[in-house]
């Protein structure tokens, strides 16, 4: 099915199943431990043994030798694969061209350099510690972003956006801001580590793994092991969080495959927690110079944004300028993204890549501008809204309700009673502050396929390689099929994450739900046509409701149409160029936060949070809300505690476990409210839906930071805003 013009009125507008707050259908399996994650899939293949990975102990250099004698002699050991016995396996996917394994070069700390296979996990781990590894360290490495020419703005990297004449507009603006903000490297810190069981059968390999993008992963594995893609099967039905770190296959899958081939047994490998920080990917560190010029009334005339970020490969870095090009109006703009080639592990996508770090800085800059202008920060944002692409005013936003997000939020939050004077509101020993920030994130989609099978018992089965990374894919896809076929969700079963199923959009970039539900719709339309053919009717004359297909006064139970055999519909949604060429399709939001800051110690406690989201049709308000409050929680972490600390001498993230890398605990998260605007974006998908999982994170941290400034009068431009950065500026207690 080609989506080549905006959706008209259609069956989704009735929203009898879609749009309903249905509990997630995989929920009972998950809360009762019956949804096995990759490492726990003991039943999928006989004879599983354990591979324990070893990461490089230096950040840059060469491996001179690996002595395996003692490890080979250790109890239970079945085999050892070292990096020295393989050519480099790298560049297996364009968006992630890292080296996974192989060769004697060490490119970053904890690069995978060996895997030891044994009968038990404990034996493998103990033997892995017996490897004798000899390194030659290269001291020429670059680990400090602040020391790079990119951070100093000394490169001549081509701008990502130039509109008008930024420099002269900025120079002549009545009110200006020129500040530098930093955001640290962040870890995805998902609960389920990377894990894979690999088993070979001749030249074919199956990987039971944890991966967001099955078709990408299948291609990568085929390339890594030099086998045809059809010889590779990936299966990933349950995923314990991804946040982007599982978009691409990682070294667990590579090592499991290599080890399984070497020992001739199925091998399972999980990355130990410390290797997740330094072996895989992270959100890159950023140093952002932001310049904003406005006239005295607050109309922004000039926006400048320069971003420096760490990248080990050409596909690395956190491009914090992504939202800047389109979020606010300004006739003069200069936007530069300038990744610095560094020897830290490669940075890559983490939930709302670009927007997260970008809005952490830009939405603080907006707060500072409001302060300079003596304006309310909500008003400033409303004044500078745009309904067209600021870089190309001929291109409108398809459906943008940012102003309504701000207004609805301000009203619901009680913004008008906020004290704009910083450091002036107290509740006992707590300094109270309120902050606002805007949210912006594009609404990309990818082609997405599915197969639906109507069985004689009247039930429908959906098959797709779409993944559910905790987001609710199972549920919204079942709702879509139920809506189209006139069934209830209980009549629908669904299998996901298997590369034997039709290729879907997968999960990433908040494209998953919008794309995959459109794919299910396409497959269901194909099934409806098959049914119509079977009944020798025109599809348009049929009504599907309550498990029946009806025409005129005649109703037939759906299950009987096939006459005892299955009826199958298979198709994919493909998105036409109009969607990306004629309009900007994006999502919008506003975050409002109240914090308390301890007047003596500077301890920060978020007290209440509100998000207002404009993301088109909400497919399921319950799972969507879960996405948004989870994202808000992640935003609190980024605002006040999360930082992967870089050791600039040894070149690694030091706090590489969940004791050292703090994420919010329950007690950090107060009452959270989410309001979804009732919008529907006809340019987005047939369901008029857009993603929401990343939108929820955009701007949250800035709202927290702005609230802290309102509470204390201290402006911190270096995230995370920890108490040590507040102490010297707190008002007298």
Partner 1 sequence: MRAFSYERATSPQGAARALAATEGAKFIAGGTNLLDLMKLEIETPTHLVDVNDLGLDTIEDSADGGLRIGAMVRNTDLAAHARVRRDYAVLTRALVAGASGQLRNKATTAGNLLQRTRCPYFYDTNMPCNKRAPGSGCAAIDGYSRQLGIIGTSEACIATHPSDMAVAMRALDASVETVNADGDTRTMPLADLHRLPGDTPENETTLEPGEMITAVTLPPAIGGRHFYHKVRDRSSYAFALVSVAAVVQADGTGRVALGGVAPKPWRREEAEAALPDGAAAAMAAILDGATPTDDNAFKVTLAERTLTAVLAQAQE
Residues of this chain that interact with partner 1 (CB under 8 A) are 57-58, 75, 122, 125-126, 129, 274, 429, 598, 600-603, 605, 640-641, 645-647, 649-650, 654-657, 659-660, 662-668, 720, 722-724, 727-728, 733
| CA dist., res. 338 & res. 308, Å (int) | 5
Q: How far is the CB of 605 from partner 1 (least distance, A)?
A: 7
Chain centre to alpha carbon of residue 360? 16
| CA dist., res. 661 & res. 654, Å (int) | 9
| CA dist., res. 497 & res. 208, Å (int) | 10
Q: How far is the CB of 26 from partner 1 (least distance, A)?
A: 26
Chain centre to alpha carbon of residue 570? 28
- Dihedral angle computed from the Cα positions of residues 209, 215, 219 and 224, in that order, rounded to the nearest 10 degrees: -10
Q: How far is the CB of 607 from partner 1 (least distance, A)?
A: 12
Closest by CA to 697, choosing from 26, 31, 183, 160, is 183
- The residues with which 606 forms a beta bridge, in sequence order, are 595
Q: Is 729 left (phi over 0), alpha (psi -120 to 50) or beta?
A: alpha
E strand or H helix at 474: helix 473-485
CB of 46 or CB of 724, closer to partner 1: 724
| CA dist., res. 253 & res. 719, Å (int) | 34
- Evaluate the omega torsion of the peptide bond into residue 720 and state whether it is cis, within 30 degrees of 0: yes
Sign of the C-alpha dihedral, residues 663, 665, 666, 668?
Answer: negative
| Number of C-beta neighbours around residue 330 at 10 A | 24
| Number of C-beta neighbours around residue 541 at 10 A | 11
Q: Which residue has the tokens 């050409």?
A: 314
| CA dist., res. 72 & res. 77, Å (int) | 6
Q: How far is the CB of 312 from partner 1 (least distance, A)?
A: 19
CB of 372 or CB of 608, closer to partner 1: 608
Strands laid side by side in the 204-209 sheet: 77-82, 112-118, 49-55, 267-270, 195-201, 204-209, 232-235
The DSSP letter of residue 186 is B
Q: How far is the CB of 279 from partner 1 (least distance, A)?
A: 13
CB of 143 or CB of 521, closer to partner 1: 143
CB of 535 or CB of 663, closer to partner 1: 663
Cα distances (Å, whole numbers) of residue 163 to 295, 398, 429, 487, 533: 18, 22, 49, 52, 55
The DSSP letter of residue 54 is E
CB of 234 or CB of 700, closer to partner 1: 700
| CA dist., res. 106 & res. 454, Å (int) | 53
Q: How far is the CB of 280 from partner 1 (least distance, A)?
A: 17
Q: Which residue has the tokens 């726990």?
A: 40
Q: How far is the CB of 634 from partner 1 (least distance, A)?
A: 13
CB of 75 or CB of 374, closer to partner 1: 75
- Strand, coil or helix: what is 413? helix
Q: How far is the CB of 604 from partner 1 (least distance, A)?
A: 8
CB of 76 or CB of 396, closer to partner 1: 76
CB of 2 or CB of 600, closer to partner 1: 600
* Ramachandran angles phi, psi of 559, nearest 5°: -65, -20
| CA dist., res. 227 & res. 218, Å (int) | 10
Q: How far is the CB of 595 from partner 1 (least distance, A)?
A: 12
CB of 529 or CB of 650, closer to partner 1: 650
Closest by CA to 115, choosing from 265, 281, 274, 262, is 262
Q: How far is the CB of 662 from partner 1 (least distance, A)?
A: 5
Q: Which amino acids are annotated catalytic?
A: 694
Sign of the C-alpha dihedral, residues 90, 96, 98, 101?
Answer: negative
By the 8 A CB rule, do 163 and 391 touch?
yes
CB of 56 or CB of 567, closer to partner 1: 56
Closest by CA to 687, choosing from 504, 509, 483, 470, is 483
């Amino acid at each position: 099915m080609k989506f080549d013009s905006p959706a008209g009125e259609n069956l989704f507008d009735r929203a009898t199943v879609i749009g309903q707050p249905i509990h997630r259908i995989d929920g009972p399996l998950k809360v009762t431990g019956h949804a096995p994650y990759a490492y726990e899939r003991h039943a999928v293949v006989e004879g599983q043994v354990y591979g324990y990975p070893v990461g490089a102990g230096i950040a840059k250099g060469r491996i001179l030798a690996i002595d395996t004698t003692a490890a080979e002699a250790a109890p239970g050991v079945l085999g050892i694969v070292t990096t020295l016995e393989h050519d480099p396996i790298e560049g297996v996917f364009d968006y992630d061209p890292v080296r996974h394994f192989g060769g004697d070069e060490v490119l970053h700390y904890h690069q995978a350099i060996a895997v030891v296979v044994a009968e038990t996990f404990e034996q493998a781990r103990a033997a892995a510690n017996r490897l004798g590894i000899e390194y030659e360290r290269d001291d020429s490495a670059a680990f400090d972003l602040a020391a790079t020419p990119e951070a100093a703005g000394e490169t001549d990297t081509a701008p990502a956006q130039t509109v008008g004449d930024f420099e002269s507009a900025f120079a002549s603006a009545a009110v200006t801001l020129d500040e530098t903000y930093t955001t640290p490297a962040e870890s995805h810190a998902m609960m389920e580590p990377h894990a894979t069981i690999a088993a070979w059968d001749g030249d074919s390999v199956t990987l039971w793994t944890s991966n967001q993008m099955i078709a990408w992963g299948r291609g990568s594995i085929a390339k890594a092991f030099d086998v045809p893609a059809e010889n590779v099967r990936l299966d990933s039905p349950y995923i314990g969080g991804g946040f982007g770190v599982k978009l691409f296959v990682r070294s667990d899958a590579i090592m499991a495959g290599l080890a399984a081939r070497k020992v001739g047994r199925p091998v399972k490998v999980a990355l130990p927690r410390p290797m997740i920080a330094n072996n895989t990917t992270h959100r890159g560190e950023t140093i952002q110079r932001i310049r904003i010029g406005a006239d005295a009334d607050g109309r922004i005339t000039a926006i400048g944004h320069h971003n420096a970020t760490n990248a080990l490969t050409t596909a690395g870095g956190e491009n914090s300028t992504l939202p800047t090009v389109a979020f606010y109006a300004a006739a003069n703009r200069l936007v530069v993204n300038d990744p610095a080639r560094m020897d830290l592990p490669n940075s890559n996508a983490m939930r709302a890549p670009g927007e997260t770090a970008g809005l952490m800085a830009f939405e603080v800059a907006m707060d500072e501008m409001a302060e300079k202008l003596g304006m309310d920060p909500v008003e400033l944002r409303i004044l500078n809204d745009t309904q067209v692409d600021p870089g190309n005013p001929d291109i409108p936003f398809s459906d943008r309700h940012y102003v309504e997000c701000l207004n609805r939020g301000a009203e619901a939050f009680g913004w008008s009673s906020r004290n704009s004077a910083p450091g002036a509101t107290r509740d006992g020993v707590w300094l109270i502050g309120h902050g606002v920030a805007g949210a912006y994130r594009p609404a990309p989609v990818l082609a997405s396929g599915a197969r639906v099978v109507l069985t004689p018992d009247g039930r429908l089965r959906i098959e797709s390689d779409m993944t559910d990374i905790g987001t609710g894919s199972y549920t919204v896809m079942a709702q879509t099929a139920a809506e189209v076929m006139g069934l209830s969700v209980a009549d629908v079963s669904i299998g996901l994450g298997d590369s034997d199923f039709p290729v879907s959009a997968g999960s990433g970039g908040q494209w998953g739900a919008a794309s995959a539900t459109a794919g299910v719709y396409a497959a269901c339309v194909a099934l409806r046509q098959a049914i119509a053919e079977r009944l020798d009717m025109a599809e348009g004359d049929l009504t599907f409701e309550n498990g029946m297909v009806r025409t005129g006064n005649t109703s037939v139970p759906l299950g009987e149409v096939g006459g005892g055999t299955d009826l199958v519909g298979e198709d994919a949604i493909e998105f036409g160029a109009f969607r990306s060429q004629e309009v900007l399709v994006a999502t919008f939001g506003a975050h409002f936060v109240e914090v308390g800051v301890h007047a003596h110690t500077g301890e920060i406690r978020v007290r209440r949070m509100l998000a207002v989201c404009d993301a088109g049709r909400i497919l399921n308000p319950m799972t969507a809300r879960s996405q948004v409050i989870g994202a808000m929680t992640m935003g609190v972490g980024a605002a006040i505690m999360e930082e992967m600390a870089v050791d600039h001498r040894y070149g690694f993230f030091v706090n590489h476990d969940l004791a050292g890398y703090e994420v919010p605990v329950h007690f950090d998260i107060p009452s959270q409210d989410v309001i979804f605007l009732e919008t529907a974006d006809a340019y987005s998908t047939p369901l008029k839906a857009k993603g929401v999982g990343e939108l929820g994170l955009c701007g949250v941290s800035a709202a927290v930071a702005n609230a802290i400034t309102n509470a204390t009068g201290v402006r911190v431009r270096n995230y995370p805003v920890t108490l040590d950065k507040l102490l010297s500026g707190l008002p007298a207690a």
